[in-house]
């Protein structure tokens, strides 16, 4: 469709003028590429144990060295990227969708519904996330799905509150009243007029949220609450490396660098997107 082509064109035109945003975009693309094609790119099986080669330093055979069981760290980092991206994609898309619906209901619906939802959002947000995750894991046992579930539940209020505020600001705007005067139903107004006005900031928020979610997954896996042991995750690589820090710094470096890369890449890219889609800034270049 031409509208999407135009949007893509606008993003690239904007990125060209913003080197930091471009760097972020390249970094994000690289991370996504490496994670998606991990099966082809990884030189070793991430679970393959080689006890004669424990805690090796980087070499041509093992670019990032090996861990305490002699597993190739580069392969584990690549596969760990898959876990990180799967968690963030699933968790963010679900919490964004639910947050969008709840936020619009709170912002546009009757006042009692708004009150109920806001109290619910605040209740969820008042739990420290790690404590909440610990409690849930204690009940269900550690698994990737638990991590995703915890992230969804704690992220929904973040999105919903942004959507609610935006919707509240929009509902008093003249063009919404004009639409009503032209016979539009509430659903129609939400779908055609509120949604297009809030969706761009929401995607930008989501893009900036990726590092937080990836960090959360790594953190929970580091604490042993996420992926179960043999499965590679950046968090579990860090945890393994942490115990053998005196023997070799490489697992910590290898597990930490991708986290830094994800944070920088998505933050720069997200900030650049925000500048591109902000209509107040858009006007200048036309």
> Which residues are near another protein by CB under 8 A?
173-175, 177-185, 188, 192-193, 196-197, 200, 279, 283, 286
Closest contact distance (angstroms) between CB of 152 and another protein is 28
Question: Shortest Cβ distance from residue 76 to another protein (Å)?
Answer: 44
**Looking at beta carbons only, is 167 or 233 nearer to another protein?**
167
Nearer to another protein, 139 or 181 (CB): 181
Non-local CB neighbours of 118 within 8 Å, separated by 6+ positions? 106, 164
Q: How far is the CB of 180 from another protein (least distance, A)?
A: 6
Q: Which is nearer to another protein, 54 or 193 (CB)?
A: 193
* Chain position carrying tokens 């860090």: 238
CB of 235 to another protein, least distance (A): 39
Please name every residue paired with 66 in a beta bridge, in sequence order, or none if there are none. 72
Check: CB of residue 57 under 8 Å from CB of residue 250: yes
From 5, 11, 39, 31, select the one nearest 258 (Cα to Cα).
31
User: What separation in angstroms does the CA of 79 have from each of 35, 46, 85, 183?
Assistant: 6, 7, 10, 53
283's tokens: 């006007």
How far apart are CB 37 and another protein at their closest, in Å?
37
Could you tell me if residue 16 is left (phi over 0), alpha (psi between -120 and 50 degrees) or otherwise beta?
Answer: alpha
Task: Determine whether 226 is exposed, middle or buried from the number of CB atoms within 10 Å of its CB (0-12, 13-18, 19+).
Answer: buried
Shortest distance in whole angstroms from residue 193 CB to another protein: 5
Q: How far apart are CA 195 and CA 190, in angstroms?
A: 6
Which lies closer to another protein via its Cβ, residue 60 or residue 172? 172
C-alpha 262 chain-centroid distance:
9
Q: How far is CA 241 from the centre of its chain?
A: 24
Least spacing, CB of residue 178 vs another protein, in Å: 4
CA-based nearest residue to 248, from 45, 65, 63: 65
**Minimum CB distance to another protein smaller for 58 or for 201:** 201
Nearer to another protein, 119 or 177 (CB): 177
Q: How many residues comprise the chain?
A: 286
Q: State phi, psi for 227 to the nearest 5 degrees.
A: -65, 145
CB 104, CB 159: distance < 8 Å: no
Residue number with CB closer to another protein (4 or 126): 4
Which helix H or strand E contains 177, and what residues bound it?
A: helix 174-181
CB of 105 to another protein, least distance (A): 18
Nearest residue (CB) to another protein, 174 versus 246: 174
């Amino acid at each position: 469709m031409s509208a999407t082509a135009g949007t893509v064109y606008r993003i690239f035109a904007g990125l060209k003028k913003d080197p930091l945003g471009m760097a972020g975009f390249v970094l994000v693309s690289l991370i996504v590429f490496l994670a998606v094609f991990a099966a082809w790119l990884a030189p070793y099986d991430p679970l393959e144990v080689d006890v004669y080669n424990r805690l090796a330093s980087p070499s041509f055979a093992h670019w990032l060295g090996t861990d305490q069981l002699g597993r190739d760290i580069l392969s584990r980092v690549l596969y760990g990227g898959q876990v990180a991206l799967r968690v963030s994609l699933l968790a963010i898309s679900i919490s964004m969708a639910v947050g969008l619906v709840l936020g619009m209901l709170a912002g546009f619906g009757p006042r009692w519904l708004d009150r109920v939802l806001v109290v619910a959002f605040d209740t969820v947000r008042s739990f420290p996330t790690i404590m909440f995750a610990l409690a849930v894991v204690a009940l269900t046992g550690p698994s990737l799905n638990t991590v995703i579930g915890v992230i969804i539940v704690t992220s929904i209020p973040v999105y919903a509150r942004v959507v609610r505020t935006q919707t509240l600001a929009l509902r008093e705007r003249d063009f919404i009243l004009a639409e009503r005067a032209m016979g539009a139903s509430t659903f129609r107004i939400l779908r055609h007029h509120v949604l297009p006005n809030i969706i761009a900031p929401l995607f930008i928020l989501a893009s900036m949220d990726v590092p937080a979610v990836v960090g959360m997954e790594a953190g929970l896996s580091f604490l042993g609450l996420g992926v179960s042991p043999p499965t590679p995750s950046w968090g579990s690589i860090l945890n393994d490396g942490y115990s053998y820090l005196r023997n070799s710094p490489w697992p910590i470096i290898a597990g930490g660098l991708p986290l830094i890369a994800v944070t920088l890449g998505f933050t720069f890219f997200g900030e650049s997107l925000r500048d591109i889609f902000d209509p107040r800034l858009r006007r200048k270049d036309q």
